């Protein structure tokens, strides 16, 4: 009787549980994560995510959702194309429903938790299909959803890079296609692979390699060879055709040729610590100021070894695929620590070095260690097979206790071996005092100086601008700056013209960040923008090393200045303005 009632109202019960979980999540974010973020708040990844979230919502409100990478939120008011990388940020669409319930920082925290849940659930669905035991499926999903790679990206704030739920769903479609031969799984695999491409292209690229490596499993029955080849060809060709059409409509024509073209000069900063097995450190370099490890948990690897030795069929192929991706991810570091080996001044091309330099595993978008999600999906499947074998051998112990014991060992290993990563850091959201003060001031944008080409600096500028509710005159790519920035040696008239242009565009302040200034070679002075004091009210915030210049109203610029507003009388200034408007420099 009671069981019948539960079955009858199962949908309502599931809906009630879902609503309750949403309310718990909402209360948790509002109560415990107020003015805090999941991750390290001073990391460029997090700061860039906040900037692009705000830019996306800004363009969504303007009706420019599907071309949000063409924006005037940066390089205001001219705007700029932020490029192919931002166009492949499908996860930004997930911020649209969140904006109606949460603020910018809260939306970020909620999205991090939602993605983690989706990563776990997708891996659980795959494992549940492969294994009969729910407990084994839980452990397998745990290995995939909670591992050093995911924890590293969460701590650094790279949301785009720990969206991994497409990978188990794509794998599930492939396995179901092999077992059922239904066209809907072909269509599902195509759609998921395209969505993976639009979320983060390197994962789609490695997914194609993963599919190729799985083909022997599909060829087990000779009669099915044609079926497997034809479906595989259809999936891959559909990926390239469909995404090429979308990229063409977005204005990116020959994107595939640029993405997969091997690069002659690559710099694999980092090293492999041979004294700590399976610990890779790609972030120890001059480009990153932190020491966060990236590795493979030994407990899951040990269970995977058991699966390889004792289980037949798919588990052996998965282990070989696992080793292949390990070679891709770590090969360069195994042969040299960030630099090619040299003998008598000549570079020695070793096999792994050749792979990472001349095959399309290299380049800014396809760095080798981004194959780690596929290392982890293989490790998760191997963990499941290994635990199944252990359960079949130790029959006196229920699978629940075996799974619980493994989970405790696995989580303990994360705590002991990866203390910098697990549990993820929860840090305060800090913003300089000046940016807090200008939140309610009535102007459009700020200009941050010095103009920088470093993504980390630009992300910081944008992060502060977002939290203060202002746009930026700064471009994301320094070469697209559309306004001429006067030098110290330029005429007073040219400087006055610059201030007038800022005032006319409703720019409230010029903010000089002392931490990023370089000293002049001759004078030794680090503030080459001190001439702004001639026109602007100045304030200094020593605790943040900021010097701010308030842009005056147009009628106040020439007050008590021996200059006139006549650009034609100053040829050098006129050339500078024309060069800047043409996108060049003078």
Q: What is the pLDDT of residues 129-155, one digit of tens each?
A: 999 889 999 999 999 999 999 999 999
Q: Cα(50)–Cα(37) distance, rounded to whole angstroms? A: 11
Q: Cα(170)–Cα(192) distance, rounded to whole angstroms? A: 6
171 has pLDDT over 60: yes
Helix-strand-coil split of the chain, %, nearest 5: 60, 10, 30
Q: Look at residue 265 in the predicted model and tell me its pLDDT.
A: 44
Q: Look at residue 232 in the predicted model and tell me its pLDDT.
A: 83
Q: Look at residue 207 in the predicted model and tell me its pLDDT.
A: 92
Q: Look at residue 327 in the predicted model and tell me its pLDDT.
A: 78
Highest mean pLDDT among 83-92, 288-297, 336-345, 529-538: 529-538
Q: Look at residue 482 in the predicted model and tell me its pLDDT.
A: 79
Q: What is the pLDDT of residues 442-497, one digit of tens each?
A: 999 999 998 888 888 999 999 999 999 999 998 888 777 878 888 888 888 888 88
Q: Model-level pTM?
A: 0.84
Q: Look at residue 523 in the predicted model and tell me its pLDDT.
A: 45
Query: Which residues lie closer than 8 Å to 125 by C-beta, 6 or more apart?
Result: 168, 169, 172
> What is the average per-residue pLDDT within 196-224?
82
pLDDT confidence of 239, banded at 50, 70, 90?
confident
- Tokens describing residue 529: 């923008």
Q: Look at residue 5 in the predicted model and tell me its pLDDT.
A: 57
> What is the average per-residue pLDDT within 29-42?
83
Residue 271 burial by CB count (10 A; 0-12/13-18/19+): exposed, middle or buried?
middle
Which position has the higher pLDDT, 229 or 335?
Answer: 229
584 has pLDDT over 60: no
Token pair 């800090």 is found at 430
Q: What is the pLDDT of residues 514-528, one digit of tens each?
A: 888 875 444 444 567
Sign of CA dihedral 304, 305, 308, 309: negative
Q: Look at residue 263 in the predicted model and tell me its pLDDT.
A: 45
Which position has the higher pLDDT, 244 or 256?
Answer: 244
For the chain, percent of residues with pLDDT exceeding 70: 75
């Amino acid at each position: 009787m009671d069981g019948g009632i539960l079955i009858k109202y199962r949908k309502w019960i599931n809906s009630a549980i879902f609503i309750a979980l949403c309310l718990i999540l909402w209360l948790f974010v509002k109560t415990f994560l107020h003015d805090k973020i999941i991750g390290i708040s001073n990391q460029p990844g997090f700061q860039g995510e906040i900037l692009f979230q705000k830019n996306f919502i800004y363009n969504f409100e303007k009706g420019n959702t599907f071309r949000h990478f063409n924006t005037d939120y940066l390089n205001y008011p001219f705007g700029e194309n932020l490029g192919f990388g931002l166009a492949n940020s499908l996860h930004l669409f997930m911020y649209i429903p969140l904006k109606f319930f949460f603020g910018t920082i809260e939306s970020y925290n909620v999205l991090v938790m939602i993605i983690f849940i989706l990563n776990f659930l997708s891996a659980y669905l795959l494992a549940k299909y492969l294994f009969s035991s729910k407990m084994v499926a839980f452990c397998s999903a745990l290995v995939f959803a909670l591992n050093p790679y995911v924890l590293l990206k969460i701590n650094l704030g790279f949301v785009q890079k720990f969206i991994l739920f497409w990978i188990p769903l794509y794998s599930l479609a492939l396995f179901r296609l092999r077992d059922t031969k239904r066209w809907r799984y072909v269509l599902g695999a195509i759609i998921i692979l395209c969505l993976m491409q639009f979320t983060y292209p390197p994962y789609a690229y490695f997914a194609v390699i993963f599919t190729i490596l799985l083909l022997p499993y599909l060829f087990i029955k000779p009669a099915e060879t044609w079926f497997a080849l034809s479906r595989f060809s259809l999936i891959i060709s559909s990926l390239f055709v469909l995404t090429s059409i979308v990229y063409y409509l977005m204005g990116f024509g020959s994107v595939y040729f640029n993405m997969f073209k091997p690069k002659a000069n690559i710099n694999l900063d980092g090293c492999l610590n041979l004294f700590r097995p399976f610990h890779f450190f790609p972030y120890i370099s001059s480009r990153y100021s932190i020491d966060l490890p990236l590795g493979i948990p030994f407990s899951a690897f040990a269970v995977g070894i058991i699966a390889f030795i004792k289980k037949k069929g798919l588990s052996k192929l998965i282990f070989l695929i696992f080793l292949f991706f390990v070679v891709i991810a770590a090969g360069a570091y195994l042969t040299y620590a960030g630099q090619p080996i040299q003998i008598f001044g000549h570079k020695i091309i070793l096999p792994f070095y050749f792979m990472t330099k001349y095959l399309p595993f290299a380049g800014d978008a396809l760095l080798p260690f981004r194959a780690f999600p596929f290392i982890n999906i293989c490790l998760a499947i191997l963990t499941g097979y290994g635990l199944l074998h252990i359960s079949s051998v130790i029959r006196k112990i229920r699978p629940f206790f075996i799974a619980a014991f493994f989970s405790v060992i696995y989580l303990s290993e994360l705590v002991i071996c990866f203390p910098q990563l697990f549990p993820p850091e929860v840090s305060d959201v800090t913003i300089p005092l000046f940016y807090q003060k200008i939140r309610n001031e009535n102007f459009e944008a700020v200009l941050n100086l010095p103009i920088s080409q470093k993504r980390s600096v630009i992300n910081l500028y944008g992060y502060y601008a977002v939290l203060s509710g202002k746009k930026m005159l700064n471009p994301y790519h320094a070469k697209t700056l559309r306004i001429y920035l006067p030098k110290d040696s330029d005429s007073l008239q040219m400087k006055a013209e610059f201030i007038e242009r800022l005032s006319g565009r409703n720019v409230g302040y010029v903010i000089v960040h002392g931490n990023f200034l370089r000293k002049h070679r001759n004078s030794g002075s680090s503030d080459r923008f001190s001439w702004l004091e001639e026109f602007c009210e100045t304030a200094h915030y020593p605790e943040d090393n900021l010097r701010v210049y308030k842009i005056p109203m147009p009628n106040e610029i020439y007050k008590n200045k021996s200059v006139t507003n006549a650009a034609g009388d100053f040829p050098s200034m006129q050339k500078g303005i024309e060069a800047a408007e043409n996108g060049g420099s003078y």
